Amino acid sequence: MVDALGRDPLVVALGTRARALVDYALKLTTAPATVTEQELGPLRAAGLSDAAIHDVACITAYYNFVNRIALGLGVELER
Protein backbone atom coordinates (compact mmCIF):
# COMPACT_ATOMS: atom_id res chain seq x y z
CA MET A 1 0.00 0.00 0.00
CA VAL A 2 2.89 2.37 0.69
CA ASP A 3 4.05 2.05 -2.92
CA ALA A 4 0.54 2.77 -4.17
CA LEU A 5 0.32 5.84 -1.94
CA GLY A 6 3.60 7.05 -3.40
CA ARG A 7 2.34 6.63 -6.95
CA ASP A 8 -1.10 8.20 -6.58
CA PRO A 9 -2.50 8.72 -3.08
CA LEU A 10 -5.81 10.01 -4.41
CA VAL A 11 -6.88 6.67 -5.89
CA VAL A 12 -5.78 4.31 -3.11
CA ALA A 13 -8.69 2.72 -1.25
CA LEU A 14 -8.43 3.84 2.38
CA GLY A 15 -10.64 3.83 5.41
CA THR A 16 -12.29 7.06 6.54
CA ARG A 17 -9.59 7.96 9.06
CA ALA A 18 -6.66 7.21 6.76
CA ARG A 19 -8.32 9.04 3.85
CA ALA A 20 -8.85 12.14 6.01
CA LEU A 21 -5.21 12.05 7.13
CA VAL A 22 -3.82 11.56 3.62
CA ASP A 23 -6.06 14.24 2.08
CA TYR A 24 -5.09 16.74 4.77
CA ALA A 25 -1.37 15.99 4.48
CA LEU A 26 -1.55 16.29 0.69
CA LYS A 27 -3.26 19.66 0.82
CA LEU A 28 -0.90 20.96 3.50
CA THR A 29 2.01 19.79 1.33
CA THR A 30 0.85 20.96 -2.09
CA ALA A 31 -1.23 24.05 -1.30
CA PRO A 32 -0.54 25.15 2.30
CA ALA A 33 -1.86 28.68 1.80
CA THR A 34 -5.28 27.28 0.91
CA VAL A 35 -5.76 25.16 4.04
CA THR A 36 -8.69 26.45 6.07
CA GLU A 37 -10.73 25.38 9.09
CA GLN A 38 -12.91 23.45 6.63
CA GLU A 39 -10.10 20.91 6.04
CA LEU A 40 -10.20 19.97 9.71
CA GLY A 41 -13.79 18.75 9.51
CA PRO A 42 -13.01 15.33 8.01
CA LEU A 43 -10.24 14.82 10.56
CA ARG A 44 -12.59 15.60 13.43
CA ALA A 45 -15.31 13.43 11.87
CA ALA A 46 -12.78 10.58 11.74
CA GLY A 47 -12.28 10.92 15.50
CA LEU A 48 -9.10 12.98 15.70
CA SER A 49 -8.81 15.40 18.60
CA ASP A 50 -7.43 18.90 18.15
CA ALA A 51 -4.18 17.69 19.72
CA ALA A 52 -3.96 14.84 17.18
CA ILE A 53 -4.68 17.26 14.32
CA HIS A 54 -1.91 19.50 15.63
CA ASP A 55 0.44 16.51 15.62
CA VAL A 56 -0.52 15.64 12.02
CA ALA A 57 0.14 19.23 10.93
CA CYS A 58 3.51 19.27 12.71
CA ILE A 59 4.62 15.91 11.32
CA THR A 60 3.56 16.88 7.80
CA ALA A 61 5.28 20.25 8.03
CA TYR A 62 8.45 18.74 9.46
CA TYR A 63 8.61 16.06 6.76
CA ASN A 64 8.23 18.75 4.08
CA PHE A 65 10.84 20.95 5.77
CA VAL A 66 13.43 18.18 5.93
CA ASN A 67 12.77 17.07 2.36
CA ARG A 68 13.13 20.59 1.03
CA ILE A 69 16.47 20.99 2.80
CA ALA A 70 17.67 17.65 1.42
CA LEU A 71 16.50 18.49 -2.09
CA GLY A 72 17.97 21.97 -1.87
CA LEU A 73 21.34 20.55 -0.93
CA GLY A 74 21.28 17.77 -3.49
CA VAL A 75 21.26 15.00 -0.89
CA GLU A 76 20.78 11.58 -2.47
CA LEU A 77 19.17 8.58 -0.80
CA GLU A 78 21.39 5.69 0.14
CA ARG A 79 20.44 2.38 -1.47
Q: What are the sequence ranges of the domains in the chain?
A: 2-72
**What is the model's pTM?**
0.85
- Per-residue confidence in pLDDT tens, the chain, 79 aa: 777 777 778 878 899 999 999 999 999 999 999 999 999 999 999 999 999 999 999 999 999 999 999 999 999 988 8
**Which CATH code is given to the segment(s) 2-72?**
1.20.1290.10
Go through 62-75 and write b for each residue having 16 or more CB atoms within 10 A of its CB, e for each that does not: eeeeeeeeeeeeee
